[in-house]
Amino acid sequence: MSQSSPKTFWWGVATSAYQIEGAVREDGRGESIWDRFCRVPGAVERGDSGDVACDHYHRYAEDIALMAELDVNAYRFSIAWPRIFPEGRGREEPRGIAFYDRLVDALLEQGIQPFVTLYHWDLPQALEDEGGWRNRHIVDDFARYVDRVSRALGDRVKYWTTHNEPWCIATLGYSNGIHAPGVRDPAAALAAAHHLLLSHGRAVPILRANVPGAKVGIVLNQLWVIPASARAEDAEAARALDGDFNRWYLDPLFRRAYPEDRVAAYRRDGRLPAGPLPFVHAGDFEEISRPIDFLGVNYYTCARVAAGDAPGEIRSLPPEGEPTEMGWEVYPQGLYETLMRITRDYAPTSMLVTENGASYGDGPDENRRVKDQRRIDYLASHIDACERAKRDGAPLDGYFVWSLLDNFEWQCGYRQRFGIVWVDWSTLQRIPKDSAFWYRDRIRRGLGRD
Ligand code: FCB
């Protein structure tokens, strides 16, 4: 097994349950909000769903063998809450736990360190029926789920993250409805964000109690925001978006408060009432800001913004250069800046880049080779940015490519391909792309300071 000595740099690949597992009706799994959302006409491109996905639930041994060939020493994956508690709480499903038991054992046999994400968006539908993350009661449900999973796997899994990207869960799920559960209620999204953060804080001591030597963290997605000009209004627009996206989560976790400038803006636009924040109870920030062992950073792109015509309006500008197939600008310097800014402003003890990668559709040629040079360039430039940030003092201890496999890319379905391994959607055959071999060689070279 890989040792977590201070010298270890984690080179990994990342996935999430709903995006790869399939087998949604097997072994007693309950319905998740994504099963439901995928059935809403027009919600997901081409009506795709995670019903089969990469069929990783049955092919996990093959996928771990692929990882072993890449020489990764870490694998970040998520647990599907509806496999453990099909109705969200109460009756538990031993076959769900047994699957993750087998997965963890198979990883450890290959010397690959498991990094578990407890929540990567597939909420049991039964809990959503009670309001999901909008309902404060979910904090207790999450705590019970975390307790159960960490008691089952804590003898072997040391690295735990509570949530993946609370911004996406709250904003895309409850404010603009692009993601499950498809709710459009910006005020409720702020309550959801708070309950996500609170449930994270509630989980921290549970993980420490159940897991000897636990390393506990949370994963935030970060957007590097660039003002369109040196004008004060544009700088203000950039600060506003940075506040919505980055500081709304970083500040409570590391500074025990929501950013004042955004609280004031949300009062002006009616998302928040005057006076105390309705969803914050006494003691919440103490729980939310409990010390963590690492911060996970997901980084893909930057945003270029200018002030709009209406007060407080943020206007986004088109990307510069050739974007990826998601339409996202390729801006590795933003990863460097993000890591340095977090180091400077929030001083986490350790950081991991828990996701970074690019969607390009390059497929197999007649010799079954996938020449995805653009992805190689993307990964190379971003890993260089990590190397520079580490050299300049960022406490960076790992890097995970998103993703091992082409998979179900949420509202975009299977059209967007982030994998370093190609998946043929008719046969489910896996073909490592050129980027997979490149990544293996890059891992072998290591970082300057390994
Ligand atoms: C992140 C998600 C991940 C994947 C990538 C492309 O926001 O965490 O599941 O969809 O984007």
pTM here is 0.97
**Ligand 1 centre distance from Cα of residue 37 (Å):** 17
Q: Which ligand 1 atom sits closest to the C-alpha of 410?
A: 10
Q: What is the secondary structure of 147-216 as a DSSP string? A: HHHHHHHTTT--EEEEEE-HHIIIIIIIIS-SSTT----HHHHHHHHHHHHHHHHHHHHHHHHHSTT-EE
3-state helix, strand and coil shares in percent for the chain, rounded to the nearest 5: 45, 15, 40
The token duo for 166 is 């609370």
Q: How far is the CA of 268 from the centre of ligand 1 (A)?
A: 31
User: Does ligand 1 have an atom closer than 6 angstroms to the CB of 222?
Assistant: no
Is 337 annotated in the active site? no
Among protein residues, the one with the nearest Cα to ligand 1's atom 4 is 409
The backbone torsions φ and ψ at residue 396, rounded to the nearest 5 degrees and listed phi first, read -95, 125
- With a 6 Å cutoff on the Cβ, whether 355 touches ligand 1 is yes
Q: Ligand 1 within 6 A of 410 CB?
A: yes
Tokens 């790992």 — which residue?
398
Catalytic, out of 31, 93, 128, 165: 165
Examine the residue annotation and report whether 130 is marked as an active-site residue of this protein. Answer: no
> Is there an atom of ligand 1 within 6 Å of 122 CB?
no
284 lines ligand 1 (CB under 6 A): no
Burial zone of 150 (CB within 10 Å; 0-12 exposed, 13-18 middle, 19+ buried): buried
- Identify the H or E element spanning 397: strand 396-402
pLDDT score for 449: 43
Residues of the chain with pLDDT under 50: 1-4, 449-450
- Pairs from 320-327 (Cβ < 8 Å, separation ≥ 24): 324/358, 324/359, 324/360, 324/374, 324/378, 325/359, 325/360, 325/361, 325/416, 325/417, 326/300, 326/358, 326/359, 326/412, 326/416
Cα dihedral sign for 376, 378, 384, 387? Answer: negative
| Ligand 1 midpoint to CA 329 (Å) | 16
- Residue found by looking up tokens 């390729």 in the block: 330
| CA dist., res. 131 & res. 213, Å (int) | 35
Please pick, among 21, 93, 128, 355, the residue that the annotation labels catalytic. Answer: 355
pLDDT confidence of residue 327: 98
Ligand 1 atom nearest the C-alpha of 121 is 9
Give the per-residue pLDDT at 1. 39
- What distance in Å separates the CA atoms of residue 399 and residue 296, rounded to the nearest whole number? 10
Q: How far is the CA of 283 from the centre of ligand 1 (A)?
A: 32
Q: Is the CB of 299 under 6 A from ligand 1?
A: no
In contact, 53 and 419? CB cutoff 8 Å: no
Angle between helices 94-109 and 138-153 in degrees, nearest 10:
50
Which atom of ligand 1 is nearest to 165's Cα?
8
